[in-house]
C-alpha cells in the first residue's frame, strides 16, 4: 500500500495558520526568565548570547545560577532587613532607641566566634591534672540549709581525688563530662549537686600549672558556667510563670512572686558562703542575670562589687581572665553599664606591673615558659575586655585608653590588644603613631611581628590618611622583611599584601611578591605556608580585576610556581579562573593573558586523573570553557582556529572542553559565513573546510555517544550551511553508522536510564535535517534515508516497546514532505532534492517504494500487537498512524481513505481509546472539511463512527 502524499502549498498553509501578528514584548514577565537579574549580569548575558548562540550545553560555566544567587543579596537576609523597619514602625521610635541601648547589636563580635580560635591556639602536649571530689551519692540530703552548707564545706575540704597525667584531650573530655553531669544533676532536681559541680569546675581556674593551656581551660570552664547561669535563670523564671502568663522580657522585680524571689535569694546566700574567692566570684558572675528578679538596681550594684573583688586574685593571668568573664557576662546582661568595663581595664593596668614581679617570674621558670609566649596568653582576655570597652565608645574614650597604655612604658602586649579591639578606622587614622610605638617596644617581650600583623589587619579594613600611605608601607615592610622565621614572616606578609593591593599599583605589589618569594624559597619554606600563600593570591586577585595588569606583574607567575603541591596548585588555579570569568568583561586576545591563563588551565587540566571526582571534572571543565569563550581574536579567524587547535591538544582529557571547542569552531565557521554573506571566496571556503575537518576529527574522541551523535548532526548542518556538501555527507554517514552503537541504557547524572527517548528525539531531529540534504550523485536516491532506515530496522529495540513504529510513522512525515514540489525549508545556496529532481516521477516512485515498505512494517506490527493482546498499545499506535495519514495523506485516494477508516475502528475496537481525544479528532476533521478543497473530509467524518463507552 502506498502513501499518497497530500500536495501541500506551504506558503498558503503558513498564511492560513499564522496567528494574528502580535508584537512580542519581552518586557515585564516571562515564566522562564530568571527571577533575580542584576544589571551587570544582564550585560554579560547579552554578550554571551551574541557570541555563542549555538552552544547550549556548555553555557553554564560563566554564570552559575547558584553562585550568582549567593554573591548577590541573599533573599532571606534581604527579607529580614526589610522586615525590620516594619516592626520598627509598629513600636514607637523611642522604644527602639531604648532597646538599642539595652542590647548589644549585631556589629559586636560575639564570644562564640572567639572561643574556637582560643581553643585552637592555646594547646599543650603536657600532662594536666584535675583535682575533684568523688561525688558520693546519697548522704541523706536533709532539707535543712545547715546540712547543705556543711556539704558545701565538705566539698571544699573533704575527700578529694586527683586525676593526674591527663592529656589535653582527656582533660577536655573530663570537663565535658562535668558539663554533662551538671545538666543531669539539674534535670534530676539535685540542685545542690549541680552547684557543687560548678564550684568544682570554677576551682580549676585557680590552678595555673601548664599555663600555656590556661586560656583554653578558661574557655571550657566558662562554658559550663554559662550553662549553669542559664539553668538557674530559667528555673527561677519558670517559677514566676504561675498562670501560664509568661513574663514580658523587661519585667520588673515587683511582678515576681515571693517564692521565686526567695529561691533566688537562696542562691545568692549560698554562693556568698562559698569559701574560696575564685569559685565564689565565678559562680556569682554566672548568675548575675538573676539579680533582675530581686531589684532593679541589683546588676548595677553587683558589677562594681564583683569588679573590685577581682583585685583579690593574686595571679595576674587568672585575674585578667576573671575580668574578661565579668565583662562578657556584663555585656550580655547589661551592656549599658560601661563604667565597670572601664574600671576592669584600669584595675588591670594597675596590676600590670605584677607580670614582671618575682612570683610570676618564678612560676615561669618552674614551668619553662618564655616571656613572649607567656604574654600572648593574655591576649584573648585583654582583647575581649578592650573590645567590650571599644564597642560604640566615643573617640575620646579610646584616645584616653591609648594614652593610659602608653604611660605603661608603651607595652607591646597592650598595644596589640588595643589594635585588635579598637575600631579599625581609629587605628588606621593613627597608623604612623602606632608604627612609632611598635618600634619603641621592648624587643624581649611580646613578639613584634604580631604587632605588625595586628596593625596590618586594621589597615586592611580601614584606610589611613592618603599622605601617610606609602610611608606606612615602607616602615612596616622594613621590619617585616627582617623577620627570620618564615612562619612569622608569612603571617605578617599575608596581612600586609592586602594593604598593598588596596592602595598601590602593580609596581609595589610586584616588589612585595618578590620579597615573599625571596623569603619563602630557601629550604622550601613555602611548603609549610600554603594557606597563607593562597590567601595572598586571593587578595591580589580581589584587587586586580584587570588581568592584563595582573599578569604584567612580573613576579605573579613565579609566585604561582611556589605552589608545588598539586592539590593546592589546582585550588589556586581555580581561584584565578573564577576571578577571570567573573571580572573579565570583554573577550580578549592579549597574548600575555592568553599565555598565562593557558598555563593555568593546563595545570588544572593536568591534575585530572582516574581518581578525580565527576564533580571536580565538571567544575574544572566549566572554568576552562569559560576561558575559551572569553578568547576572541576578532576578525582574525585563522588565529582563532589555531587557538582552538592548540586548546584541543592541551585539554584533551576533559570532554566538556572538547565539546565546547567543537561548538566554538562551528560557530567560527558560521561567523565566517556571516562575514562573507554566504558567498565564500576560495580562501574562506578552504578555511571553513578546515573548521569542518577540525570537528570531524575531534568528535570521535568523545566517549558520550549522544554527544557524538548530536555533534555530528550539528556539525553536518554547519557544513551544509557552508556548502561543504561532501563533508556534510560524511558527518551524516558517521551519525548513521553510529546509531547501532547506542546502548540500551545510558548513565545520566549517575543513574542508569533507558536511552530510547533520547534516541527517538535525536532521530526525529535527524530526519528533519535529512529533508534538505541533497542526494549524492554517485549514491542512489535517498541514500541517507535508506541507510538510516536500515539501521533502525537492525537496531535491537526494547521488547514491548513501540518506539520503532513511532519512528517509522515519523519517517512517513519526512517522506511526504519529500514528495512536495517545493520543500518547506532550504539551506541558502544549497539545492535540495526538490530542485535536483524537479519532481521527477522516478524519484517519486522511489519515495513511494520506501513508503510502502514502511507502512507494511507498521501494519504488521499492529497485527502482532493484536495477537499479543497488547490492545492498549495497539489502539494508541493506530490512532497515531491515523493522525499521520490525516495530516499528510491525500484522503481522496480510496485506498488510503479506507485504511484510515480501518485504523479509526481499530483504535476504538477494544475500548482503549480515549473518548475525549476521539471526539476532538472528529471535530477537527469536520472543521477541516469546511476549508476549500477539503470537502472530502466531510464524507470521511461520516464514515468514522464514535464508539460510546460500554
Partner 1 sequence: MGTALDIKIKRANKVYHCGEVLSGVVVITSKDTVQHQGISLTMEGAVNLQLSAKSVGMFEAFYNSVKPIQIINSTLEMVKPGKLPSGKTEIPFEFPLLVKGNKVLYETYHGVFVNIQYTLRCDMRRSLLAKDLTKACEFIVHSQPQKGKLMPSPVDFTITPETLQNVKERALLPKFLIRGHLNSTNCIVTQPLMGELVVENAEAAIKSIELQLVRVETCGCAEGYARDATEIQNIQIADGDVCRGLPIPVYMVFPRLFTCPTLETTNFKVEFEVNIVVLLHDDHLITENFPLKLCRM
Of 273-281, 327-335, 369-377, 434-442, the window that binds partner 1 (rule: CB under 8 A) is: 273-281
Out of 236, 290, 302, 309, which residue is the one contacting partner 1 (CB under 8 A)?
309
**Look-up of cell digits 580585576:** 545
The site that binds partner 1 (CB under 8 A) totals a number of residues, namely: 36
Out of 297, 359, 487, 747, which residue is the one contacting partner 1 (CB under 8 A)?
359
All residues at 6 or more sequence positions from 803 whose CB lies less than 8 Å from its CB, including other chains: 756, 759, 760, 797
Site string for partner 1, 416-435 (x = CB under 8 A): --------------------
Out of 38, 273, 835, 935, which residue is the one contacting partner 1 (CB under 8 A)?
273
The helix-helix angle for 655-675 and 637-650 (nearest 10°) equals 170
Q: What's the closest the beta carbon of residue 168 comes to partner 1, in angstroms? A: 24
Of 247-255, 349-357, 399-407, 784-792, the window that binds partner 1 (rule: CB under 8 A) is: 349-357
Q: Are 194 and 181 in contact (CB under 8 A)?
A: no
Binding flag, residue 356, partner 1 (CB under 8 A): no
Binding flag, residue 495, partner 1 (CB under 8 A): no
- Grid cell, residue 428, equals 588606621
Q: What is the rounded CA–CA span in Å between residue 537 and residue 853? A: 68
Of 3-11, 348-356, 718-726, 845-853, the window that binds partner 1 (rule: CB under 8 A) is: 348-356
> 636: which DSSP letter?
-
Site string for partner 1, 148-177 (x = CB under 8 A): -x----------------------------
The helix-helix angle for 448-461 and 469-480 (nearest 10°) equals 150
Binding flag, residue 336, partner 1 (CB under 8 A): no
- Long-range CB pairs of 31-36 (<8 Å, 24+ gap) are 34/65, 36/69, 36/72, 36/75
- Grid cell, residue 177, equals 563530662
Binding flag, residue 275, partner 1 (CB under 8 A): yes
- Grid cell, residue 96, equals 527602639
Overall size of the chain counted in residues: 950
Out of 308, 642, 757, 793, which residue is the one contacting partner 1 (CB under 8 A)?
308
Number of Cβ atoms within 10 Å of the Cβ of 133: 17
Out of 30, 305, 524, 635, which residue is the one contacting partner 1 (CB under 8 A)?
305
Name the residue nearer to partner 1 (CB basis): 256 or 785.
256
Binding flag, residue 205, partner 1 (CB under 8 A): no
Q: What's the closest the beta carbon of residue 220 comes to partner 1, in angstroms? A: 21
Q: Are 557 and 540 in contact (CB under 8 A)?
A: no
Q: What's the closest the beta carbon of residue 500 comes to partner 1, in angstroms? A: 44
Binding flag, residue 297, partner 1 (CB under 8 A): no
Name the residue nearer to partner 1 (CB basis): 146 or 842.
146
Phi, psi of 666 (to 5 degrees): -60, -40
Q: What is the rounded CA–CA span in Å between residue 442 and residue 774? A: 91
Binding flag, residue 276, partner 1 (CB under 8 A): yes
Of 269-277, 749-757, 761-769, 784-792, the window that binds partner 1 (rule: CB under 8 A) is: 269-277
Name the residue nearer to partner 1 (CB basis): 351 or 548.
351
Q: What's the closest the beta carbon of residue 218 comes to partner 1, in angstroms? A: 16
Q: Are 896 and 3 in contact (CB under 8 A)?
A: yes
Binding flag, residue 237, partner 1 (CB under 8 A): no
Burial class of residue 671 in the structure, from the number of CB atoms within 10 Å of its CB (0-12 exposed, 13-18 middle, 19+ buried): middle
CA 545-546-552 angle, to 5 degrees, is: 120
Q: What's the closest the beta carbon of residue 325 comes to partner 1, in angstroms? A: 15
**Look-up of cell digits 585608653:** 401
**Look-up of cell digits 472530502:** 936
Cα Rg, the chain, nearest whole Å: 41
Of 357-365, 431-439, 588-596, 939-947, the window that binds partner 1 (rule: CB under 8 A) is: 357-365
Binding flag, residue 272, partner 1 (CB under 8 A): yes
Of 261-269, 443-451, 519-527, 596-604, the window that binds partner 1 (rule: CB under 8 A) is: 261-269
Binding flag, residue 353, partner 1 (CB under 8 A): yes
Q: What's the closest the beta carbon of residue 522 comes to partner 1, in angstroms? A: 47
Number of Cβ atoms within 10 Å of the Cβ of 316: 19
Interacting residues with partner 1 between 847 and 906 (CB under 8 A): none
Interacting residues with partner 1 between 541 and 570 (CB under 8 A): none
Phi, psi of 135 (to 5 degrees): -75, 110
Q: Are 325 and 285 in contact (CB under 8 A)?
A: yes
Out of 7, 88, 247, 350, which residue is the one contacting partner 1 (CB under 8 A)?
350
All residues at 6 or more sequence positions from 676 whose CB lies less than 8 Å from its CB, including other chains: 684
The helix-helix angle for 412-421 and 379-390 (nearest 10°) equals 50
Name the residue nearer to partner 1 (CB basis): 280 or 289.
280
Of 347-355, 398-406, 782-790, 920-928, the window that binds partner 1 (rule: CB under 8 A) is: 347-355
Name the residue nearer to partner 1 (CB basis): 265 or 690.
265
Strand partners, 889: 5
Site string for partner 1, 821-850 (x = CB under 8 A): ------------------------------
Of 36-44, 144-152, 515-523, 869-877, the window that binds partner 1 (rule: CB under 8 A) is: 144-152
Binding flag, residue 206, partner 1 (CB under 8 A): yes
The sign of the dihedral angle between the CA atoms of 882, 887, 890, 892 is: positive
Q: What's the closest the beta carbon of residue 383 comes to partner 1, in angstroms? A: 22
Phi, psi of 462 (to 5 degrees): -135, 155
The helix-helix angle for 191-204 and 168-187 (nearest 10°) equals 160
Binding flag, residue 48, partner 1 (CB under 8 A): no
Q: What's the closest the beta carbon of residue 533 comes to partner 1, in angstroms? A: 45
- Grid cell, residue 873, equals 498499545
Binding flag, residue 339, partner 1 (CB under 8 A): no
Q: What is the rounded CA–CA span in Å between residue 284 and residue 229? A: 9
**Look-up of cell digits 603536657:** 126
- Grid cell, residue 551, equals 599578569
Nearest to 202 by CA among 181, 231, 228: 228
Name the residue nearer to partner 1 (CB basis): 265 or 650.
265
Name the residue nearer to partner 1 (CB basis): 67 or 273.
273
Strand partners, 747: 752
Out of 190, 354, 534, 632, which residue is the one contacting partner 1 (CB under 8 A)?
354
All residues at 6 or more sequence positions from 783 whose CB lies less than 8 Å from its CB, including other chains: 775, 776
Out of 151, 315, 756, 802, which residue is the one contacting partner 1 (CB under 8 A)?
315
Name the residue nearer to partner 1 (CB basis): 314 or 866.
314
Binding flag, residue 357, partner 1 (CB under 8 A): yes
Q: What is the rounded CA–CA span in Å between residue 74 and residue 72? A: 6
Q: What's the closest the beta carbon of residue 318 comes to partner 1, in angstroms? A: 7
> 651: which DSSP letter?
S
Out of 351, 612, 820, 853, which residue is the one contacting partner 1 (CB under 8 A)?
351
Q: What's the closest the beta carbon of residue 251 comes to partner 1, in angstroms? A: 18
Name the residue nearer to partner 1 (CB basis): 146 or 674.
146
Q: What is the rounded CA–CA span in Å between residue 341 and residue 278? A: 19
Q: Which residues bind partner 1 (CB under 8 A)?
A: 145-146, 149, 206, 257-259, 261-262, 265, 269, 272-273, 275-278, 280, 305, 308-309, 311-316, 318, 347, 350-351, 353-354, 357-359
Amino acid at each position: 500500500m502506498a502513501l499518497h502524499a497530500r500536495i501541500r502549498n506551504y506558503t498558503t498553509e503558513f498564511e492560513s495558520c499564522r496567528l494574528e501578528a502580535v508584537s512580542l514584548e519581552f518586557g515585564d514577565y516571562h515564566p522562564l526568565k530568571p527571577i533575580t537579574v542584576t544589571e551587570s549580569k544582564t550585560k554579560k548575558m547579552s554578550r554571551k548570547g551574541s557570541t555563542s548562540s549555538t552552544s547550549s550545553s556548555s553555557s553554564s560555566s560563566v554564570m552559575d545560577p547558584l553562585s550568582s544567587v549567593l554573591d548577590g543579596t541573599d533573599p532571606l537576609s534581604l527579607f529580614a532587613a526589610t522586615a525590620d523597619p516594619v516592626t520598627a514602625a509598629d513600636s514607637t521610635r523611642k522604644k527602639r532607641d531604648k532597646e538599642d541601648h539595652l542590647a548589644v547589636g549585631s556589629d559586636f563580635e560575639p564570644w562564640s566566634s572567639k572561643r574556637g580560635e582560643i581553643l585552637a591556639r592555646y594547646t599543650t602536649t603536657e600532662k594536666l591534672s584535675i583535682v575533684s571530689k568523688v561525688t558520693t551519692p546519697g548522704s541523706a540530703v536533709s532539707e535543712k540549709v545547715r546540712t547543705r552548707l556543711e556539704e558545701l564545706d565538705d566539698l571544699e575540704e573533704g575527700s578529694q581525688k586527683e586525676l593526674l597525667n591527663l592529656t589535653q584531650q582527656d582533660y577536655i573530655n573530663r570537663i565535658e563530662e562535668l558539663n554533662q553531669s551538671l545538666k543531669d544533676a539539674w534535670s534530676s532536681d539535685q540542685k545542690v549537686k549541680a552547684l557543687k559541680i560548678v564550684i568544682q569546675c570554677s576551682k580549676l581556674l585557680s590552678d595555673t600549672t601548664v599555663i600555656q593551656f590556661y586560656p583554653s581551660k578558661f574557655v571550657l570552664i566558662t562554658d559550663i558556667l554559662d550553662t549553669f547561669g542559664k539553668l538557674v535563670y530559667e528555673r527561677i523564671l519558670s517559677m514566676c510563670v504561675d498562670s501560664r502568663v509568661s513574663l514580658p522580657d523587661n519585667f520588673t522585680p515587683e511582678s515576681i512572686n515571693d517564692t521565686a524571689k526567695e529561691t533566688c535569694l537562696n542562691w545568692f546566700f549560698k554562693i556568698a558562703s562559698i569559701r574560696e574567692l575564685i569559685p565564689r566570684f565565678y559562680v556569682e558572675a554566672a548568675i548575675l542575670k538573676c539579680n533582675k528578679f530581686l531589684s532593679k538596681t541589683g546588676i548595677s550594684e553587683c558589677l562594681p562589687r564583683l569588679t573590685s573583688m577581682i583585685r583579690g586574685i593574686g595571679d595576674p593571668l587568672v585575674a585578667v581572665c576573671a575580668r574578661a568573664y565579668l565583662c562578657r557576662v556584663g555585656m550580655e546582661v547589661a551592656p549599658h553599664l560601661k563604667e565597670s568595663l572601664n574600671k576592669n581595664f584600669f584595675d588591670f593596668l594597675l596590676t600590670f606591673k605584677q607580670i614582671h614581679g618575682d612570683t610570676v617570674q618564678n612560676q615561669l621558670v618552674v614551668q619553662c615558659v618564655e616571656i613572649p609566649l607567656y604574654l600572648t596568653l593574655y591576649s584573648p582576655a585583654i582583647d575581649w575586655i578592650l573590645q567590650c570597652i571599644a564597642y560604640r565608645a566615643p573617640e575620646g574614650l579610646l584616645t584616653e585608653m591609648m594614652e593610659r597604655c602608653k604611660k605603661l612604658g608603651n607595652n607591646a602586649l597592650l598595644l596589640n590588644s588595643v589594635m585588635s579591639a579598637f575600631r579599625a578606622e581609629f587605628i588606621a587614622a593613627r597608623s604612623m603613631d602606632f608604627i612609632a610605638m611598635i618600634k619603641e617596644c621592648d624587643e624581649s617581650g611580646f613578639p613584634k611581628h604580631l604587632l605588625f600583623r595586628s596593625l596590618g589587619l586594621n589597615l586592611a579594613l580601614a584606610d589611613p590618611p592618603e599622605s601617610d600611605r606609602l610611608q606606612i608601607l615602607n616602615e612596616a615592610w622594613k621590619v617585616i622583611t627582617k623577620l627570620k622565621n618564615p612562619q612569622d614572616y608569612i603571617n605578617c606578609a599575608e596581612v600586609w599584601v592586602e594593604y598593598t593591593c588596596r592602595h598601590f599599583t602593580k609596581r609595589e605589589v610586584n616588589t612585595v611578591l618578590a620579597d615573599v618569594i625571596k623569603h619563602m624559597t630557601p629550604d622550601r619554606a613555602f611548603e609549610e605556608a600554603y594557606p597563607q600563600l593562597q590567601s595572598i593570591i586571593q587578595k591580589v586577585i580581589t584587587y586586580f580585576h584587570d588581568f592584563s595588569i595582573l599578569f604584567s606583574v612580573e613576579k605573579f607567575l613565579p609566585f604561582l610556581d611556589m605552589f608545588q603541591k598539586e592539590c593546592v596548585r589546582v585550588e589556586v588555579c581555580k581561584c584565578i579562573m573564577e576571578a577571570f570569568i567573573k571580572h573579565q568583561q570583554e573577550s580578549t586576545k592579549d597574548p600575555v593573558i592568553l599565555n598565562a591563563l593557558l598555563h593555568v588551565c593546563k595545570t588544572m587540566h593536568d591534575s585530572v586523573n582516574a581518581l578525580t571526582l565527576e564533580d571536580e571534572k565538571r567544575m574544572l571543565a566549566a572554568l576552562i570553557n569559560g576561558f575559551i569563550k572569553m578568547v576572541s581574536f576578532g576578525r582574525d579567524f585563522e588565529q582563532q582556529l589555531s587557538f582552538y587547535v592548540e586548546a584541543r591538544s592541551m585539554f584533551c582529557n576533559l570532554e566538556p572542553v572538547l565539546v565546547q571547542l567543537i561548538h566554538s569552531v562551528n560557530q567560527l565557521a558560521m561567523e565566517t559565513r556571516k562575514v562573507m554573506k554566504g558567498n565564500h571566496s576560495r580562501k574562506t571556503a578552504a578555511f571553513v573546510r578546515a573548521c569542518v575537518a577540525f570537528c570531524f576529527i575531534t568528535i570521535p574522541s568523545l566517549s558520550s555517544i549522544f554527544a557524538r551523535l548530536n555533534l555530528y548532526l550539528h556539525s553536518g548542518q554547519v557544513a551544509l550551511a557552508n556548502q561543504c556538501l561532501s563533508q556534510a555527507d560524511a558527518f551524516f554517514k558517521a551519525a548513521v553508522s553510529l546509531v547501532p552503537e547506542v546502548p540500551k541504557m545510558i548513565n545520566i547524572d549517575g543513574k542508569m536510564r533507558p536511552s530510547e527517548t533520547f534516541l527517538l528525539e535525536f532521530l526525529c531531529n535527524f530526519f528533519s535535517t535529512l529533508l534538505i540534504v541533497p542526494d549524492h550523485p554517485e549514491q542512489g536516491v535517498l541514500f541517507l534515508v535508506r541507510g538510516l532506515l536500515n539501521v533502525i530496522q537492525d537496531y535491537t529495540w526494547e521488547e514491548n516497546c513501540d518506539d520503532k513504529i513511532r519512528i517509522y510513522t515519523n519517517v512517513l512525515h519526512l517522506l511526504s514532505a519529500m514528495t512536495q514540489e517545493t520543500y518547506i525549508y532550504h539551506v541558502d545556496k544549497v539545492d535540495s532534492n526538490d530542485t535536483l529532481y524537479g519532481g521527477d516521477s522516478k524519484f517519486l516512485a522511489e519515495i513511494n517504494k520506501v513508503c510502502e515498505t514502511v507502512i507494511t512494517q507498521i501494519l504488521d506490527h499492529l497485527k502482532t500487537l493484536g495477537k499479543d493482546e497488547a490492545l492498549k498499545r495497539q489502539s494508541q499506535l493506530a490512532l497515531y498512524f491515523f493522525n499521520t495519514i490525516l495530516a499528510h495523506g491525500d484522503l481522496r485516494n480510496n485506498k488510503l481513505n479506507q485504511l484510515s477508516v480501518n485504523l479509526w475502528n481499530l483504535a476504538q475496537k477494544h475500548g482503549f481509546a480515549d473518548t475525549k481525544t476521539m471526539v476532538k479528532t472528529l471535530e477537527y476533521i469536520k472543521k477541516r472539511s469546511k476549508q476549500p478543497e477539503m470537502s472530502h473530509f466531510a464524507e470521511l467524518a461520516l464514515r468514522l463512527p464514535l464508539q460510546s463507552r460500554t
